[in-house]
Amino acid sequence: MTAGFQTLEIRQDREHVETVVLRRPEVANALNTRMGEELFAYFEALAMTPSRVRCVVLTGAGEKAFCAGGDLKERNGMSMEAWAAQHLVFERMARALVTCPVPIIAAVNGAAYGGGCEIAAACDFVYAAERATFALTEVRLGVIPGAGGTRSITRAVGERRAKELILTARSFSAADALEWGLVNAVFPGDALLGKAVETAAQIACNAPLAVRQAKHAISRGSGMSLSDAMAFEIEAYNRLVPTEDRLEGVRAFNERRAPRFKGC
């Protein structure tokens, strides 16, 4: 699945955990068409075989940038048809991130601007380095966030704050992102990836079917009324009752040992 990737590095830092590195450091890991295609391919393949990995950490190469947004050099002089075709790739990439059944932790190691900020916001939650900065700069280019940013940012920080950030296009710090709810935790740069992988490993130790159903219930339920969300939660819960992992969890508790989950 990972063979032939040019803009991504895929590695396994812990059991059941994969780290995906955006690797175009010469251009601050800017998002070009190839990277969009490869991110879509990776996360779409993971959606087809979610039992292969239990958690993913997404980060950028180097210390300066997570992802500087769309590669404007590649876009310079694009026809409207080519621009639209490229953006369709980015739309599919964003949907693959948002709908991936496996939890994704963004480890934002540097600048996350434009589409890079949207990629981070599309993940399930975000850890950031102290040096990280964020911005939604699209209105300076005559467009708006188009990879889910108007919704993902709004859901994270609230409507009024999202309007301020998107309409001004100004940058903000990791500390600001933490205070406003876009980021879950901030760490020194040299500790960031280790902390993200450590959290991913904690997730991977839990029953994978239960983790995926919990993520599904939270994501879908957030757009429902309370009564509908509760009904959806019960459906997700009931799918887990007949599983071997549910039986193993109870056995392990009573036998005072760590459970051995198999994802079935």
Residues whose CB is less than 8 angstroms from the CB of residue 250 and which lie 6 or more positions away in sequence, other chains included = none
Within a domain: 81: yes
Looking at the structure, tell me whether residues 238 and 124 fall in a common domain.
Answer: no
Taking residues 27-49, report their average pLDDT: 96
Within a domain: 144: yes
- Find where tokens 């063979």 sit: 3
Taking residues 14-43, report their average pLDDT: 96
The pLDDT assigned to 189 comes to 96
| Interval 185-228: pLDDT, tens | 999 999 999 999 999 999 999 999 999 999 999 999 888 899 99
Looking at the structure, tell me whether residues 121 and 251 fall in a common domain.
Answer: no
Looking at the structure, tell me whether residues 153 and 175 fall in a common domain.
Answer: yes
Looking at the structure, tell me whether residues 39 and 122 fall in a common domain.
Answer: yes
Break the chain down into helix, strand, coil percent, rounded to 5.
55, 15, 30
Q: Is the pLDDT of residue 102 over 80?
A: yes
Within a domain: 15: yes
Looking at the structure, tell me whether residues 143 and 237 fall in a common domain.
Answer: no
| Interval 121-161: pLDDT, tens | 999 999 999 999 999 999 999 999 999 999 999 999 999 99
In the chain, the number of structural domains is 2
Q: Could you tell me the CATH number of the domain that includes residue 83?
A: 3.90.226.10
How far from chain centre, in Å, is Cα 69? 15
Active site amino acids: 118, 138
Looking at the structure, tell me whether residues 109 and 23 fall in a common domain.
Answer: yes
Are the C-beta atoms of residues 60 and 19 closer than 8 Å to each other? no
Looking at the structure, tell me whether residues 243 and 162 fall in a common domain.
Answer: no
Distance CA 249, CA 255 (A): 10
Looking at the structure, tell me whether residues 148 and 222 fall in a common domain.
Answer: no
Looking at the structure, tell me whether residues 29 and 151 fall in a common domain.
Answer: yes
Q: Could you tell me the CATH number of the domain that includes residue 214?
A: 1.10.12.10
The pLDDT assigned to 3 comes to 59
Within a domain: 263: no
Strands (E) across 114-237 are located at 125-129, 133-135, 172-173, 185-187
| Mean confidence (pLDDT) of the chain | 94
Within a domain: 262: no
Q: Is the pLDDT of residue 264 over 90?
A: no
Domain that includes residue 222, residue range: 208-255
- Nearest to residue 42, comparing CAs of 96, 6, 89? 96
Looking at the structure, tell me whether residues 216 and 124 fall in a common domain.
Answer: no
The pLDDT assigned to 201 comes to 97
- Nearest to residue 218, comparing CAs of 155, 154, 153? 155
Are the C-beta atoms of residues 48 and 35 closer than 8 Å to each other? no
Within a domain: 170: yes
Looking at the structure, tell me whether residues 118 and 243 fall in a common domain.
Answer: no
Within a domain: 1: no
Within a domain: 41: yes
pTM of the prediction? 0.93
Looking at the structure, tell me whether residues 78 and 114 fall in a common domain.
Answer: yes
Amino acid at residue number 62: G
